[in-house]
Structure 1
């Protein structure tokens, strides 16, 4: 390229060359190829001249007899493509013409001349260095002074060389400083390398330019090395795929078939780019979650933020806090379906953790039981019991509401006992919706459908009433059901877990004897009796369903499956695997059915609530994030993590849900960090309260989450620049007033102040220093009380300022601006000028013995020299020679 432009400059008079040069300079043409052995009709690589020009290219040749010709290699050819020619496509398919071009290119490459002096290193010297080297060569050059042949030549022409030499030596010396001797050692030229007289200023200018160029060269070399290192660490290239692609383009057959996906995967980043890996950046979201990430109302945002702040304050004082109940209260003010869903979820979780009776802190209450490869059986039993209780209470409230609303109830359903409420529900709802046929198929005793009554008492959670009913009406059961009151009593006493082994065998035998040979459509089939035996005895678990005649709702279906789980009772270990029914089986069944089955009613979707009731908390967070609101998903994850009911991702990912060893895990740090993206600048105090909760897992003892929390807080500090609010203020005397993070440092696993300074403040200062934010770096070093580094930075910045500023330019301009009130204020202050900042800090440090004790004598001495130099520079620029 350099040679090509040299030839253009040498052939400036040729009008064709000038047209080509103008086209290249203006961007209307581009250099395509330079060849040193052209054929008579153009370069062979592109075919004939006609074919080449027809494709939009033109070629130009310089005459070989030019004084600037390239010698034996011929004259260079420059080929350009004009702007109006058809552009080549970005990606070319390997057709015949392209294969021929690539083959010709390879052949031409093999025919290139080999330079014999190719091992000679290039010259990388400045002009001054070249001048010095030349003068040294002249000094060392030896002249033997033997001019015999020249004397003979001159004597033939009648010239006496000896006489001429004598005459020349007799001439008076003139301009000795530039004279050159003519014989022997006098041929050596001497040039004074040191600057003399008026050349001093030029010498310094040259030296400065040389220093700047050297610095630029070093900086470029360093940047090149850093870039190569970054590429080697960050980029992964599959050279085998790239090699096969090149072979295919050259027409060489390859055994493997390369798709576009394989070609794209052959060049990948080993790790995410720095911008994509930041914790406070938006998280990758699917199409389903796009609407959920919309901003909520300001009232809801502030209400949630107050709950989070109160949670952190209670944690700081190690006091109990009902986090689920507080979030439930916030949902009561909204009437939309999504808020109702979240309200039910909060209620389920509040009941699980028994928040109403909590007197001490319940932080990480279940972490030891839940955050394991397999959840402990005791916690699973608690989850099942809680879900069953919630469903039963919900059904009883629904039944009680129907009973209360009707003020004209028949006297048969009075007084308002629980049994009368159930009987009225059967009369008002079940009989009305299903007709009298259903009640005729069940056992009626004195006009009371016994099995239906027992079933709905169980469904309402009224187990004592069910036991009382069966014992009081024992004569109602025939000879096949005479043991049922015993079954019922033991079932209620076990907490609905199951019957002892002996009773389980007896009830299973009774069940088989009654229903083994009766189909569901038979007239004598009693659906309520079948359901009661199925629930109490957990009989025939191969068929895990109830008769269609009962017309179960989603809640009824879930309640039934919770009751027939047999992994917690004495008879849980069955010899037949297909008769074992565990919580994991039910969880897989619900996930397999999916939200479409549980959200059949748009007015009352229950999939999220079902996931929570079954202990699928990670999937619940994901579903709420994608289908309800991001805000609700964040607070659900925070509350679950507070109690230790959330598995957190240990690997770095930009996805919300990570599956590791078949265990779903939530990317808590990215979820919370992404949520703060909308208010990390406007409300950094609120953002800090959320980011602190990243360190919540295992009471702050999770090292991975602690590191992510610290990283997120440092990013918040650098982005918001609210150093005083987050880290603390500095008084005029140099004393420090703690900020929010320093006061709450125990919540982020940094109880020691020196650890807090090192992990948060000092590392933030180092990041500012790397990014060139000098004023921020100095202030942050002050906040972590690293005063020696503060003075060292001031010395460094002042030195650079003095060395890089022209002598004729002032360091302080003294400019002012007019405020809206009409007063004049200086544009340069200690907030934006290093000199004024240095002077102010020097005064502060000198008045504080504590700070002086932390500054090394060497740094103090350097600063004491630099500031007077600044003053001298200012006097020099103003030409104030009298000032001392």
Structure 2
């Protein structure tokens, strides 16, 4: 048994025994009281006790705490002192104290609260501004990096390899062009185009000019690309030229025309393919002497027999299946040849000739509602399950039946697949939202998003994928794809220029967008290409070595605006000048006779003065003040040029001259400006001009000081009347000094010290010399006027001390100390 259980058992037995003893026959009565009676009894007992006084309590507390080493009075004082809040953390008002202490504490709390809040606001403001500056700087660096990168995609990992392929060894060296022979040829055409636009106002065909370059290069892929661009851009826009590109591209008629041009291109190239195949197999083709598409198709089928699983349906014509002949004639786009087949085999084709005649008689090749229903019903019931693939394909073309069927048994090339899908595309106005028919928007989405680059092996066959996108009217996506491949980026840029020149390229409102973006106001199928970023990304490769060519490309951006509303062409020119520092070559320069020598920018008939001033502002913002002075002078902003020059000169006035130094360079520039302004005039204010000439005089003074020409230096200082040399001049010079600019005031400490050192040197030299050495203006007395001249030098030194003390301008502390020290040495 558990010992604890045994203990409780014993207690229980003892309790029961006590209860039994109480209930035993004793004479003591039982007391029973309720709660009220117990409370009254307690109160009576409390009144009988003696109340403890405060003194007894203090004494008992002192005895208790004293045994542990604590003094009660001191502890009480400390506790009372802790009630007042004196720190930042404790700003609660004082309670239970006198009015004077309460008000004093409230005042301190209010001051501390204001200080704490001000400190908090200051730190928050500093941190906020710091992050804003960092974000702006990061944004600028990000834009530069994005313009330099190739973009995303597998080809971006081959950047170094592609760069080496496109730029031969040594072309990146100084003085050599960074453009390869193909890029240089296209740049030459851009120059010729701009020359024609600027000088004659004529807009030549840019696409034809680029196609001519491709033909001279001999690259068949590039030749085919420009042939494709030529075909797709032959659109009679008419009165739509005044509209925006986004409106033109969204127009249903224009989209239908894109589809027609794409089919025409595919049909033309297919005829070329048939001709090359037949010409390579003349004996087997048995072409004969009759020209025409029908004979060409027959010859081709002799070389490449049609695909037939069993015997062809509806018989043959000239030993070839009727439906195969009809399909290949349609594939070549020759409806006359197709009609020739239908007419000769009319009795074999059932109701099809009726459908075909209506198909070729309408401009949009659409059947009326009755025949459209009949041909689709006939296709679903009979033709879809027939054994002849060419018959199924012909029905799909004429009746636009079953656009989801790919006809893979006879369409094994991308061109054939695109031609079949484009044949299904009908009138966009009638097909929007109709799931039974294929619209251009559906086809674009299917090719770009559902299939995409990986399906078409884009990076291994870039020209093929470009053709797929371009033929379906996705110009922006096709150009953006090429822009991600270094060796093909020049084609992307020049294709974009062609479309932009023809107002067929949709561009974003903000030139800082990604290369390919989408506007919320546009339809989901319409993408926008940032031609500005594409252009900058392309020109960054060669702007350092071919700045003139970069200007030609930037000229296309003259009608665009930056996010700040500035002309994008001017902004690009400014950035180009700052990057290359080719100020004279790009912007021109000022000759000594005041005439301006033209730069490369003058050929564009733009506001060169405004462009130059814009570049000057950007240069000044970057801290390139010397270049900013030249540019402001070049833009004929003489006031700004002299103001900046004054700030620069004031920093080097007292510096010792040295060849090729900053001071020497600034002095040469300032003297050249002064001579030119004096001869041809200027438009700067009188105050700025006076400061400029005074700084030049001060430079002359310090030059004389550094060369040891002390007498000439003193004469210069007396002539410019900046410092007093007699007590009578002090008040006049002090009052005049108030009108001087900050640039002159900044030079004052060095001027005073230099002048005082000259006086001290002359004083020392005079004291060590004899009477015979005193000549000129010195008066002769018994000692040769030596003492008189020494007194004059001392008086001039005291005058300078007096002048320095009366100036309303705080000089550095060591300047005053050195002045006084030198003056003491002279006494």
How does the TM-score come out when normalised to structure 2?
Answer: 0.63
Question: Is 2:329–2:338's contact at 8 Å kept on the other side of the alignment?
Answer: yes
Residue-by-residue CA offset, 1:729-769 (whole Å, 9 max, x unaligned): 322211113322233154xxxxxx3xx533x3223212322
The answer as to 2:318 corresponding to 1:318 is no
Could you say which residue in structure 2 is the equivalent of 1:34? none
Question: How has the CA–CA distance of structure 1 residues 577 and 285 changed in structure 2, closer, same or farther, with 3 Å as cutoff?
Answer: closer
Shift in Å at residue 492 of structure 1?
2.9
Q: RMSD of the alignment, in Å?
A: 4.0
Residue-by-residue CA offset, 1:198-257 (whole Å, 9 max, x unaligned): xxxxxxxxxxxxxxxxxxxxxxxxx9999656325357xxxxxxxxxxxxxxxxxxxxxx
Could you say which residue in structure 2 is the equivalent of 1:231? 130
Question: Is 1:279–1:669's contact at 8 Å kept on the other side of the alignment?
Answer: no
Could you say which residue in structure 2 is the equivalent of 1:276? 142
The answer as to 2:452 corresponding to 1:594 is yes
Question: Is 1:369–1:376's contact at 8 Å kept on the other side of the alignment?
Answer: no
Which of the numbers 350, 353, 358 marks the counterpart of 2:233? 353
Equivalent runs, 1:233-312 vs 2, <5 Å: 233=132, 269=135, 272-278=138-144, 281-283=147-149, 285-290=151-156, 291=158, 294-295=162-163, 296-297=166-167, 298-312=180-194
Could you say which residue in structure 1 is the equivalent of 2:543? 680
Question: Is 1:567–1:580's contact at 8 Å kept on the other side of the alignment?
Answer: no
Shift in Å at residue 396 of structure 1?
0.4
The answer as to 2:386 corresponding to 1:516 is no
Could you say which residue in structure 1 is the equivalent of 2:468? 610
The answer as to 2:690 corresponding to 1:861 is yes
Q: What's the secondary structure of 2:593's corresponding residue? A: coil
Q: What's the secondary structure of 1:276's corresponding residue? A: helix
Shift in Å at residue 874 of structure 1?
1.9
Could you say which residue in structure 2 is the equivalent of 1:492? 360
Question: How has the CA–CA distance of structure 1 residues 723 and 861 changed in structure 2, closer, same or farther, with 3 Å as cutoff?
Answer: same
How many residue pairs end up in the alignment? 585
Could you say which residue in structure 1 is the equivalent of 2:419? 559
How does the TM-score come out when normalised to structure 1?
Answer: 0.59
Question: How has the CA–CA distance of structure 1 residues 761 and 694 changed in structure 2, closer, same or farther, with 3 Å as cutoff?
Answer: same
Which of the numbers 335, 345, 348 marks the counterpart of 1:477? 348
- CA distance in 2: counterparts of 1:311 and 1:548, whole angstroms: 46
Which residues of structure 2 form unaligned runs of 5+?
A: 1-86, 95-103, 113-121, 168-179, 716-827
- CA distance in 1: counterparts of 2:630 and 2:153, whole angstroms: 44
Equivalent runs, 1:459-470 vs 2, <5 Å: 459-470=331-342
The answer as to 2:243 corresponding to 1:385 is no
Could you say which residue in structure 1 is the equivalent of 2:554? 691
Residue-by-residue CA offset, 1:366-411 (whole Å, 9 max, x unaligned): 6836413961012112211110000000110010112222332565
Question: How has the CA–CA distance of structure 1 residues 796 and 447 changed in structure 2, closer, same or farther, with 3 Å as cutoff?
Answer: closer
Please say which of residues 417-426 and 313-322 is displaced more in the overlay.
313-322
Question: Is 2:483–2:489's contact at 8 Å kept on the other side of the alignment?
Answer: yes
Q: What's the secondary structure of 2:143's corresponding residue? A: coil
Could you say which residue in structure 2 is the equivalent of 1:422? 297
Q: What's the secondary structure of 2:503's corresponding residue? A: coil
Could you say which residue in structure 2 is the equivalent of 1:376? 251
Question: Is 1:325–1:350's contact at 8 Å kept on the other side of the alignment?
Answer: yes
Question: Is 1:311–1:323's contact at 8 Å kept on the other side of the alignment?
Answer: yes
Which of the numbers 407, 416, 420 marks the counterpart of 2:282? 407
Q: What's the secondary structure of 2:544's corresponding residue? A: coil
| Greater share of helix | 2
Shift in Å at residue 505 of structure 1?
1.9
Residue-by-residue CA offset, 1:532-552 (whole Å, 9 max, x unaligned): 22212223x4x5325444244
Could you say which residue in structure 1 is the equivalent of 2:172? none
Question: Is 1:534–1:564's contact at 8 Å kept on the other side of the alignment?
Answer: yes
Question: Is 2:424–2:437's contact at 8 Å kept on the other side of the alignment?
Answer: no
Shift in Å at residue 491 of structure 1?
2.6
- CA distance in 1: counterparts of 2:425 and 2:480, whole angstroms: 26
- CA distance in 2: counterparts of 1:225 and 1:792, whole angstroms: 36
The answer as to 2:611 corresponding to 1:772 is no
Residue-by-residue CA offset, 1:151-181 (whole Å, 9 max, x unaligned): xxxxxxxxxxxxxxxxxxxxxxxxxxxxxxx
Shift in Å at residue 718 of structure 1?
1.3
Could you say which residue in structure 2 is the equivalent of 1:655? 514
Residue-by-residue CA offset, 1:638-692 (whole Å, 9 max, x unaligned): 2222222222233465632223323422222222212222222222112222223
Could you say which residue in structure 1 is the equivalent of 2:65? none
- CA distance in 2: counterparts of 1:119 and 1:453, whole angstroms: 101
Shift in Å at residue 118 of structure 1?
8.7
Question: How has the CA–CA distance of structure 1 residues 310 and 288 changed in structure 2, closer, same or farther, with 3 Å as cutoff?
Answer: farther
Could you say which residue in structure 1 is the equivalent of 2:439? 582
Question: How has the CA–CA distance of structure 1 residues 475 and 781 changed in structure 2, closer, same or farther, with 3 Å as cutoff?
Answer: closer
Could you say which residue in structure 1 is the equivalent of 2:493? 634
- CA distance in 2: counterparts of 1:670 and 1:782, whole angstroms: 32
Return the structure number with greater relative CO, CA threshold 8 A, min gap 6.
1
- CA distance in 1: counterparts of 2:147 and 2:446, whole angstroms: 36
Equivalent runs, 1:741-780 vs 2, <5 Å: 741-746=601-606, 753=607, 756-758=608-610, 760-780=611-631
Shift in Å at residue 855 of structure 1?
2.7
